[in-house]
Amino acid sequence: MRLQGKVVVVTGGASGIGRAMCAAFASEGARVAVADRDEDKGRAVADELGAIYVRTDVTSSASANAMAEEVHSRFGRIDVLANNVGVRVVKPFLDHTDADWDVMIATNLTGPFLCSRAVVPFMQRVGAGRIINTASIASFVGRPNRVAYVAAKAGLLGMTRAMAIDLGGSGITVNALAPGSINSPMNSAHAADEEHDWGKETPVGRWGRAEDVANAAIFLALDESSYITGAEIKVDGGWVSTKARAGEIAA
């Protein structure tokens, strides 16, 4: 158990990639806090894994602060924050409403900022910490009918790099994971249409699993990754690399 005794917070931990992260961290001996708005699912995951559930609305500064305070009061420390919660709107550019834009930015970009700001002081007290942001291959390439989502995820990648600079002196690393086409609840509505376009277009020839992303998160939480910060790991089966080779990403 490589994370024995570590305290890990996973936002959006009630389902999909977040749930897989919670399970992976728990299997490595970590004490896990499932931070999610969905109380029923969040408590179910926490009960299954021997974790705790903390109701969290990442778009609210007060909720993010309360989450950090509760986790710290329960465990006495916070070692890892996985900013995983995310939402997506899929519709043509001109059909995006103000509300669509606001919820994409609030959840996918402001949320990680608020949760990180709430947790960092507790990491600074012990001179160490790991922040892992779930970005997307949309951080690197445009995707059709996802303008607000792409903007938020690209912003998250920039924020990851800037945070790494600001927090490195406190012993805190900040990195991002960029999942590709992953079989998860958020993708399920589009999986049937995109299986050929995305999953089979990867060099490995399949859709990714939530556990693939969770395993990468484990690596970034380990002491062995302490010299890695401001970086991004693409968990996409090589999809972005194939597009770069084909000249579909501008240099």
Q: Is 58 exposed, middle or buried (0-12, 13-18, 19+ CB in 10 A)?
A: buried
How many Cβ atoms from other residues are within 10 Å of residue 155's Cβ?
A: 18
CB 102, CB 143: distance < 8 Å: no
Is 227 a residue of the active site? no
Q: Which residue has the tokens 């010299």?
A: 227
C-alpha 164/C-alpha 162 separation (Å) is 5
**Which among 53, 149, 198, 207 is annotated as catalytic?**
149
Eight-state DSSP code of residue 130: E
Distance, CA of 80 to CA of 130 (rounded, Å): 5
Instruction: Count each helix (H run) and each strand (E run) in the chain, helices first.
Output: 9, 9
* Spatial distance between the Cα atoms of 244 and 13, rounded to a whole number of angstroms: 32
Report the side by side order of strands in the sheet with 80-83.
52-55, 31-36, 7-11, 80-83, 129-134, 172-179, 232-235
Annotated catalytic residues are: 149
